[in-house]
Chain A
């Protein structure tokens, strides 16, 4: 008799259909082969959510706070800090939106413009609801009353060096223009823990140039299973009543400050959490 083979971890992840019910409630805007105009594909989205579930619950063991602040319906912009070299932060936020007990939202995300140039990554991202960070794309999605995740730091944030962790990089102002023009509230988000998952120690510029990419980070060849905390802040509303660049920048800084405050608070809480764990561990070892 042959041995009963245990399903390996890949099978376990991708055979878990418990997230399908969330994906099945997406508005049916796809064509005859399951694609929408941005490349979103139902089949890939289900697989992605299965993988995201594994990342969220088992790998990064995410804890999310303030999910009640995400509007249950209607347009909104989810604005987090960006980190971790790979777009895991977007996946985790997307998963938390999709499974939000206060009201599930279909996540859509704006991604760095260079990502479509990376083999596999670009296609995979668009198939799971990510689109390149072009204002025209975002405008169309807000008009569709979608919740759109956008990272105003772009590649400056996601691919920054490890020594710059938790230091917010320059924010682009595009999200603020869109928020004002389309009357979309901004939900600031702090992501704690991703900075330590993939650590970049240098940017090899000649290599980046050779492969036509904005960065070529020198990273350790594995992802640390760091614990991740997501903090969703209260919605911020901005009227469409200022036009000067300096005024817009002031509003961008308001959002940046709100995120930075949440990051600092989150880091302090994480240190507390880590200290508690250490104490518990020490107490156990003494016993």
Chain B
């Protein structure tokens, strides 16, 4: 019997990584790593707490000959400071790409975010993958996300043998997700900006898991938006998830920012204020066509889940 192919999954402590591991663990030998903690993922999965910038990370590559990497590990802007985040997310990813080259890993999937496009009043709708990434122009807190994308693009074209696939999903939501929008939907009362209800896209965590698995297995190198072609206004989404809204003054913009800094709510970070104001609608058609992917869960499936929590 042929031995199982080995894959490295980073960010193993996250809800999405756990789902991906669970789906792939029967077909692959999975080595899970996380920057934050050692995660117990059951018997067939080896797990390590590791800093990508430390030597131990290379030891893992040396010991296991990986057939692929699913790089989901990311320190979000809500965690740690900007400097540490940059080191982990950007410098750490560079280290990962270099090790992938050194140990001949034939394919790597990198998880990015639609935040990289930046929320601007001037955004046209249905941004495709060639749209400039303007997030760092709006806030320093998203510089690491944009830099990670740039780094991935450089390696994608300079080292085609790595077969890098970058996924830029819209908001991921559903059981276990702890991102900003998921927190907002979970709360009884959620802050919104007075007079603003930007159009948004949401993908269920199970659909995102499937998107990652299909993109990893089919491996067509490139950059892809991942989003359903269904939309909802932000305040409508809050209401649909059974939350009530707390209206935060939206003008002048400086006042809104001061309020966000003063409140220090995890679900209302100052660096995302523009995302609560302006839509960033992405065109996921390239991913759908390339990988023959269609999300199975609807917006109502997502909101019904959050409603059931209350």
Given A37-B126, A119-B251, A136-B124, also A32-B196 (CB < 8 A): no
B residues less than 8 Å from A5 (CB atoms): none
A residues less than 8 Å from B231 (CB atoms): 31, 33, 35-37, 39
Of all chain A residues, which has the CB nearest B195?
A119
Given A38-B125, A134-B124, also A119-B299 (CB < 8 A): no
A137:B124 contact, CB within 8 angstroms? yes
Asked whether any CB of chain B lies closer than 8 Å to the CB of A99, the reply is: no
Q: How far is it, in angstroms, between the C-alpha of A119 and the C-alpha of B195 when the chains are bound?
A: 4
Asked whether any CB of chain B lies closer than 8 Å to the CB of A114, the reply is: yes
Q: How close is B205's CB to chain A, nearest CB, in angstroms?
A: 18
Asked whether any CB of chain B lies closer than 8 Å to the CB of A6, the reply is: no
Asked whether any CB of chain B lies closer than 8 Å to the CB of A113, the reply is: yes
Asked whether any CB of chain B lies closer than 8 Å to the CB of A41, the reply is: yes
Q: How far is it, in angstroms, between the C-alpha of A211 and the C-alpha of B240 when the chains are bound?
A: 31
A residues less than 8 Å from B281 (CB atoms): 37-38
Given A32-B299, A119-B194, also A37-B252 (CB < 8 A): no
Per the CB 8 Å criterion, the residue count for chain A at the interface is 30
Given A37-B126, A123-B196, A126-B199, also A113-B121 (CB < 8 A): yes
Q: How far is it, in angstroms, between the C-alpha of A117 and the C-alpha of B231 when the chains are bound?
A: 20
Q: How close is A35's CB to chain B, nearest CB, in angstroms?
A: 4
Asked whether any CB of chain B lies closer than 8 Å to the CB of A131, the reply is: yes
Asked whether any CB of chain B lies closer than 8 Å to the CB of A266, the reply is: no
Interface positions, chain B 173-206, Cβ under 8 Å from A, are 193-199
Asked whether any CB of chain B lies closer than 8 Å to the CB of A212, the reply is: yes
Q: How close is B138's CB to chain A, nearest CB, in angstroms?
A: 13
B196:A33 contact, CB within 8 angstroms? no
Asked whether any CB of chain A lies closer than 8 Å to the CB of B253, the reply is: yes
B residues less than 8 Å from A36 (CB atoms): 231
Interface positions, chain A 98-144, Cβ under 8 Å from B, are 113-114, 116-123, 126-127, 131-132, 134, 136-137, 140
Asked whether any CB of chain B lies closer than 8 Å to the CB of A210, the reply is: yes
B residues less than 8 Å from A134 (CB atoms): 122-124
B residues less than 8 Å from A121 (CB atoms): 195
Asked whether any CB of chain A lies closer than 8 Å to the CB of B233, the reply is: yes
Q: How far is it, in angstroms, between the C-alpha of A211 and the C-alpha of B126 when the chains are bound?
A: 28
Asked whether any CB of chain A lies closer than 8 Å to the CB of B288, the reply is: no
Leading 3 A-B pairs by shortest Cβ distance: A119-B195, A31-B230, A136-B124
Sample (18) of A-B pairs whose CB atoms are under 8 Å apart: A31-B231, A32-B299, A33-B231, A33-B232, A35-B230, A35-B233, A38-B199, A38-B281, A39-B125, A39-B199, A119-B193, A119-B194, A119-B250, A121-B195, A122-B196, A132-B122, A132-B123, A140-B125
Residues on A lying within 8 angstroms of B by beta carbon are: 31-33, 35-39, 41, 113-114, 116-123, 126-127, 131-132, 134, 136-137, 140, 210-212
